[in-house]
Structures are given as C-alpha cells and as structure tokens.
Amino acid sequence: MSAQKTSASRTKPVSAVGAFVGFVGFSVLAGLLVTIGVTPAIAVAGVTTTSTIGVFESLPEYIEIGDLPQRNEVLAYQGGQSVHLATVYDQNRQELKFDQISDQLKNAAIDGEDKRFYDHGGVDMTSLVRAGVGSLAGGLGESGGGSTLTMQLVRNIKMQQALELPTQEERTKAYNDAVEQTIPRKLEEMKLAIGLAKKYSHQTILTGYLNIAYFGDQTYGVQAAAQHYFNKNATDLTPQEAASILAIVQSPNTRNLSDPKYYDANVARRDVILKSMYAQKHLTKEQYDAAIASKPADYVHLTAPNQGCQSAAGNGSQFFCDYAIKVVKQMSQLGGTQKERDAAWRNGGYTIQTTLNLDLNSQQKDLLNTYDPNTEARFQLGATFNSVEAATGRILTMAQNKDYDQSIQSPSTATSLNFSADKEYGGSSGFQTGSTYKLFTLLDWLKDGHGLNETVNGTPHIINRWTHCGSPDYTAYGPKNDSAGENGNFTVARATALSVNAAFASMAAKLDLCDIKQTAQDLGVHSADEKTELNSYPSSILGTNTIAPMTMASAYATIANNGTYCKPIAIDNVTNAEGKSLGGQPKECKQVLDPSVAATAAYALQGTIKYGTAVGAQTADGTPMFAKTGTTDDADQIWLVGGSSKVATAYWQGNWDGGKTNLRHYYSGAGGSYASARASVWRQAMTPINQYFPGEAFPTPSQSAIRGNSIAVPDLAGKTTDEARSLIANAGFTYVDGGTQPGGGTAGTVSSTSPGSGSLLSKGSTVTVYTTDGSQATVPEVTGKSVGDARSAINGAGFGNVAVAGDFENGDGKNQCTVASIDPAAGTATSKDTAVTVKLYGDKDGKAPKGCK
C-alpha cells in the first residue's frame, strides 16, 4: 500500500493531542509524566497517578529504528561489459548519514518541529503543556502540536512497519492505527519515544526521522525529496529549500511541490519554519529576508525519480527490469520463505547481475518501433521479441512495442502489462500460438517412430476418431488449410515447411493427443496463466492454448540445444550488501528429447525458411537457421519462432486485448501488412544475434530417422483387385476401394493408388485403390517411326482411328516420311474411339516428299 493512498489521515493536525489532553485531563497527564520520570519533578496538586500508571505500563516500551530500505542496483550487459541498468527501491528513498545532511535541513527540522529536541528525553513536557493550554483556549496552530521529532519518528516507523505487512487488509488497518489520534495511540507513541530516546543518540534519531519521513508524490526521505523537487542533493540546500521540504511532512498530499497548486500551502508553512530558524539564530537577517522573499517557482526544478524500472537505462529495457525484479524476489538466496525474501528485498543493498544484453534488446526495440509502432490507433497492437541462449536458458532480450508505464491510466502508447511473460510476472494471459504449436505434434510424431518422408493426407477432411490419453475420442474435427487450394498428399517434411493444417490433423490422428500435450510440457510449455492447464482437444494441435512468447522461445531453444530444455533464467548473480556473492538462478537443464529427434525436427524446420512459410527469414551471413510460423484462424495473432544452434528468438505481434483485427489486412507504413513483414523483421533481429553468438550447422539426421518406421506403398498397376487387397494387407495397410475410373489396360485391374506407388506410410494407413474400366488406351510413342510402323503401334494400343495430317514439318533430308509428332501426345490416356493424328516430316522446305505412305 503506497503512502500516497493512505497518508490522507496524516493531514489531521498533530495538535489533536489537545483533544487528548482535554479528555484525560491536563493535570492527570502531567502527573503521569512526573511518575514515570520523563521530565524533572513537577508538583501538580491533587494528582492521582495510580490508575494511569497501569495503562502506561501495559504499553510496549521499545521500538527499533531498524534498517530503512537501501539501494538495490540492477545490472545488465553492454558491449560485453557489466553496466548499470536500474536502481530499485521498495520506496523512493536514498538513505543518508548524519554528516551527509545539510545543516539547513537539520535546523529546519528542529526549529520548525521540535525546538527543545536536544534537551528532552523523547517527550517535551513544555510543548505538551502549551498544547494542553491551547486546547483549553480553543486550539493552537501547527507549532503547538506537542509531538516531538522522536514521537514523529515513532509514528513514521509504525507507518513503515504497516506498509511492510503482507496483505492489503493488514497494511490498511496497521497504517490507520499508526496515524490514529486517540488517547491509547498517543500514550503508546509517547512511551515508545521515551524508549527511543533511551536507546539512541539525538543524532541517530534526527537522521532516522529525516530518512524515513514521507514528502509526498511517492518520495521518501530528504535525499529523494531534494532530488525530486530541486534536482540536487540534500547536502547543499538553501534555507528556503530546506524549509519547503520540512513544510511538507505534516501534510504531504497538500503541501508537496509536485504541482504549483500546492505552492501557497507550502509557503505558508515554510515561512513559519523560516521564522523559527531566524529566531533560533540559524539564519542571518539577510538570509531570512531572501528566503521569505523567494517563490517556489524560483527554486523548484521537478525531476522524475531515477529509481525504479521506469528509469532503467537502455532502449526498451524496462519490462525486463520489472521481470527480473519479480524473479529475484522469489530466489532462495534472499530467504527461506516469501515473507523473508520480501523483507530482505525491502532492506535492500543487493547488486543484481541480470542476463539482459542491452545492445540486442535495443536493436529489437527499434525494430518494433518501426514495424509494430505503439502509435497504431486502429486496434490494440502488441508485439514482442524474446531471445534465449539455447545452452543455458539465459534471457538475452525482452523487447516490447509498448512503453513501460505502471500508472493506473497509461497512455495508449504504453502499458503496465509485460506481454512476454506469464501472468504472474507481467499480468498478461498469453496469446494463442497458432501453428508454432505444430512443433509438438512433429516431435511426438518423430518420437513415435514416424519419419519426415512419410506421406499424410493434406486435403481438408473430417476426422471422427482420435486417441486421448489411451482412450478413443469421437470428436468430429477437420481443420481447413490456410491457403486455398492446398490439397492432396504431403510428406511430413513438406507439410511442416508449408504449415498444412489438414496434414497435421492426419498426423495427430495417428498419435495420442495427451502425448502431444506431454511433449509440449516436456519443453517447458504451459499456459501463461499457470492456474489453467494446457488443453488437449483435437483443435489444440493448431495452437489454441494461450502461451507467453518467452515460453515459446525457450521451447524452440530445446531444438537448437539437441533436445535439452533449459528453463529460462534472468539472474546471473546476486551480491548482498556485504559484497558476498550469493549466486544466480540455478541452471535447470534436462534432456527431454533424443538428440536424433531434435536433429530431425531441426532439419524439417529449416525447410520453412528455405521454401516454406518463412521464406525471407534467412540472414545474409548464411548461418543455418530453423523456424516455424504461426497464424491464428482470424490472423489476429501472428508468430515466427526459431533460431540458430545458439539462440532461439520468438517474434509475436497481435491483438493484445482479445480483439480480432486481421493483421493481414492492416499495414504499418513500413512496407507490407503486419503479417507479411514477419520474416523480414525476424531476419533483422537475428542478424546481430548471429554476430554475438555465431551459430553452427545442425546435426544431420540419419536416413533411417528421416524415413522412420514407414512402409512403401507397393506397385499395384495392372493387378487384380484380389491381388491388390492381398498385397496391401501384407504391407500392413488398410485397403480402400476407390472405385472404377476411365482408363486403359484390362478392365477391372488396378490403374492407380493414392498415395502413389513408393510413397512412405505408417503401418495401418489407408491406401485407396482405383481400377480401370478398360475404356481408355494410352497413346504410344511413335516419333521417328515410319507411317506404317506408327499406324501398327497405334492400332496395337487399341486405337482404331488413325489419320495422317495433310501438312508436313521441315525435314533434314534424312527423316522425311517419318513421324514428327502425334496428337493426342504420347502418354495420354484417352478413349479408344479418339482419332489419333500423326504429322510427318517433309523435305527441307516442308513440302510433301514423294513416296510417303
């Protein structure tokens, strides 16, 4: 809970102690304080202290100043060197030592809030008397509130403790209790102040107060306040600057200097403080006059805080910064429980070396700015790049088209959502992956012993029987193909490169849908909302699950890493405040695929770039690369995931708000539609990656791996149907009667099969057999033959109507009277009633030679 949301109750005047005094009775309070020895003995006639001592003794006696949140520094890499990325606090505070705070600030605090600070023991009886008299007289101004700096420190410590509680409900209650102006609360505050004064020196108490106090606009401590409001350090403030800062503490939401509308209220309190500083001889007459005459507009130079991920160095690094901090706060190095880890992070002092490569991340952010601009106003366009080192899982980039903004109402060009990460780490619920999910069907296909050269049906068709976790599933499902006219049989290799939906449905029907899901999970795939299980419906094979881009990049990195999956990591090392290295995220890698399966998959996915749906993605340096595209049904989510042998990169663009805008129909202004540019954009992202991490050739899969356990379709041409049935059954296939077709040969014999002779199929596949009706004959090849021989050959093929054309082709003097061409062409299967015409060679001029018959 931020102090901005809770500090409204702090605007209650501190002089509410007057009401407290009026309730208890001023003489009773005085007697109480005499009894406990806070002040020198004061004789107050008729005071009975017995009843009040019990109340006071029941209250806690001590409170610790404790360690305030320290600076946590986050580092990244640039040019191969470790560099500063961000400074992150739980609160916007930079703690100072006593001698780092200007005397003007110390004097402003004491003169304005607690003139007898160095003379009392935590509670100032004189101020309490004045507050009590003021209460009886109708109330005093702010200067007569009675709360010492030590008492105010107690209140601030309790507010800070409240903000560190685990739940919003607990934080709200404890915070309201801390600022509540009641008799028990004031008594507790006084007793704890006495305890503080006994335990700590005045310097320590004053320093603690100036470091912990809230100064409005999410700014804590005088150093952060000086930097935010004046763009300078708290070591060298002018009297008016020091007084203006201290003027904020009693009403931080209405006297801070973030907006000129608060200036008048600030100046009113500032001038009271300046008057006290002058009266205490901490200002000369000239200094006082100059300070009183000054206006906030003359010295306020509002500066955005340079703490936090909002101010992270590097182009587009803010989302990774935010992600890395969420990760490090869950690391065991910070504590055994989440409560301990949260407390350790708040206390700070850590140096976090992350895995981010600022050079590559900046380049990818520039690409997104160009091709997926955050100024797109026609629909809610999101886009990310995520690159992962294959052998380690180290996250190299996390670029996003939207700017980072954690405010409640972000501008349209910005967001608080990290599209790259799971919901736990960035608030996004992921996106449907489209055909990039086909990788897991391909891998399960290969694991099951099938091959890339195996033929599957790529014509859209309804499949009525699937296998789901070992049981039959009779869901009727038949996806359409992305490209019109995509029909026929495909090898798995070609179906992968061209991303043929129906072909992958045919593959999945031969597998178990739960095995495909398990293969995906083995490669680290999970729903971005981890409370939701991956579904394993028939349609899921085409990417209906919502998954984070970072997850897909890591899954594809497994292919590059020869079948070893490495969980993505963002933290290389953590160093504590004492300079001790605590280590980073552990490298969690596991062999989840046989290397031969990974190599065969990489071989197939290289075809996507060479002749498939990712043509244009190959970098000019020739680095071997693999990839898979993904497009949802409405083209509202567009993907390209792949990589080299060293780095995998996922490029996602789409409707981040659940809209259905078709990215094939909208243009970015950078050339082409959003969807059509993906191969080019991905190539541009991979080019510098290949320079940083030079890739190598992928292992060559064996021929047996490419073929798998498939069986060749036998040659059945001319066989009887009984012979064909027997041969099909013996080969392990299922015979399907395709019926009779017009054709040559003996009626009733086999004319063709689908898939054709020699095609590789898995055992149990269907082979459709077509027989001929004998009505056709095949025109024979007769070129070069004499007229008589040609006529005999044509008649012998079954054609009874043979004609000789009346014109001739130019001859060479040797080939006259021989056949130059035939119509229909040789090899044509046609009806035996068809007239076949031959054309002969004539003389050199194409004239009829003598003697041709």
> pLDDT tens digits, residue range 165-220?
778 888 889 888 888 878 788 888 888 999 999 999 999 999 999 999 999 988 88
Q: What is the pLDDT, as a whole number, of residue 130?
A: 65
Q: What is the mean pLDDT of residues 88-116?
A: 89
User: Residue 793: which pLDDT band, with cuts at 50, 70 and 90?
Assistant: very high
Residue 238: how many other CB atoms lie within 10 Å: 17
Task: Determine the average pLDDT of the residues in 576-600.
Answer: 95
Q: What is residue 71's three-state secondary structure? A: coil
Q: What is the pLDDT of residue 187?
A: 83
Could you give the CA distance from residue 97 to residue 61 in angstroms, rounded to a whole number?
26
Q: For residues 570 and 584, what is the distance between their CA atoms, to the nearest angstrom?
A: 9
DSSP label of 260: G
- Amino acid 175: pLDDT: 85
388: closest CA among 595, 642, 639, 606? Answer: 642
172-181, 283-292, 583-592, 797-806: the lowest-pLDDT one: 172-181
Q: What is the per-residue pLDDT for 23? A: 42
Mean pLDDT of 561-580: 96
220 vs 439, higher pLDDT = 439
Give the sign of the dihedral formed by CA 551, CA 556, CA 557, CA 559. Answer: positive
Give yes or no for residue 31 having a pLDDT over 50.
no
Mean pLDDT in residue range 227-246 = 95
Cα–Cα distance list, 181 to 19, 157, 694 (Å): 9, 16, 67
- Per-residue pLDDT, averaged over 722-742, amounts to 94
What are 644-655's pLDDT values in tens digits?
Answer: 999 999 999 999
pLDDT of 44 over the 70 cut: no
The pLDDT value recorded for residue 129 is 66
Q: What are the tens digits of pLDDT across the range 298-333? A: 999 998 777 789 889 999 999 999 999 999 999 999
Report, as an integer, the average pLDDT of 89-116.
89
pLDDT value at position 32? 54
Predicted local distance difference test score (pLDDT) of residue 61: 59
Q: What distance in Å separates the CA atoms of residue 644 and residue 690, rounded to the nearest whole number? A: 8
Task: Tell me what the mean pLDDT of segment 666-687 comes to.
Answer: 92
| Weakest mean pLDDT among 215-219, 253-257, 677-681, 689-693 | 215-219
- Least confident range from 61-70, 209-218, 377-386, 786-795: namely 61-70
pLDDT of 813: 82
Residue of 438, 450, 497, 452 whose CA lies nearest to 626 = 497
pLDDT at 143: 38
Q: What pLDDT, on a 0 to 100 scale, did the predictor assign at position 743?
A: 86
DSSP of 511-526, one letter per residue? SBHHHHHHHHHHTT--
pLDDT of residue 676: 95
DSSP for 349-418 reads: --EEEEEEEHHHHHHHHHHHHHHS-TT--SS-EEEEEEEEETTT-BEEEEEESSEE--SSS--TTEES-B
**pLDDT digit string, tens, across residues 237-254:** 999 999 999 999 999 999
> Percent of the chain having pLDDT more than 90?
72
Burial of 573 (0-12, 13-18, 19+ CB in 10 A): middle
> Looking at 362-366, 643-647, 746-750, which range is the least confident one?
746-750
Mean predicted lDDT score pLDDT of the chain: 89
Position 62 confidence tier, pLDDT thresholds 50, 70, 90: low
750 HSE (CA, 13 A, CB side): 26
pTM reported for the whole predicted model = 0.72
Over range 475-497, report the average pLDDT.
94
Whole-number Å distance between alpha carbons of 89 and 703: 58
Helix 26-36 × helix 125-137 angle, to 10°? 170
Give me the mean pLDDT over the 673-684 stretch.
96
State the amino acid at position 549 in one-letter form: P
At residue 378, the pLDDT reads 94
What pLDDT does 452 receive?
97
Rg of the chain's alpha carbons, rounded to an integer? 41
CA distance 151 to 134: 19
Strands 72-78 and 351-357: parallel
CA–CA gap between residue 127 and residue 116 (Å, rounded): 9
pLDDT at 57: 55
Structure-block tokens of residue 724 = 């064909």
How far is CA 451 from each of CA 240, 555, 670, 702, 819, rounded to the nearest angstrom? 80, 21, 41, 11, 47
* 605 token code pair: 């996915």
Lowest mean pLDDT among 27-36, 353-362, 478-487: 27-36
**Statement: residue 132 has pLDDT above 90:** no
Instruction: Examine the pLDDT at 33 and tell me if it is beyond 60.
Output: no
What pLDDT is stored for residue 364 in this prediction?
98
**How many residues are recorded in the chain?**
853
CA distance 689 to 363: 10
pLDDT score, position 43: 29
Which residue carries 């101004």 as its tokens?
A: 141
What is the number of alpha carbons within 13 Å of residue 150 lying toward its C-beta?
A: 30
Of 21-35, 82-96, 277-291, 322-336, which gets the smallest average pLDDT? Answer: 21-35
Confidence (pLDDT) at 48: 39
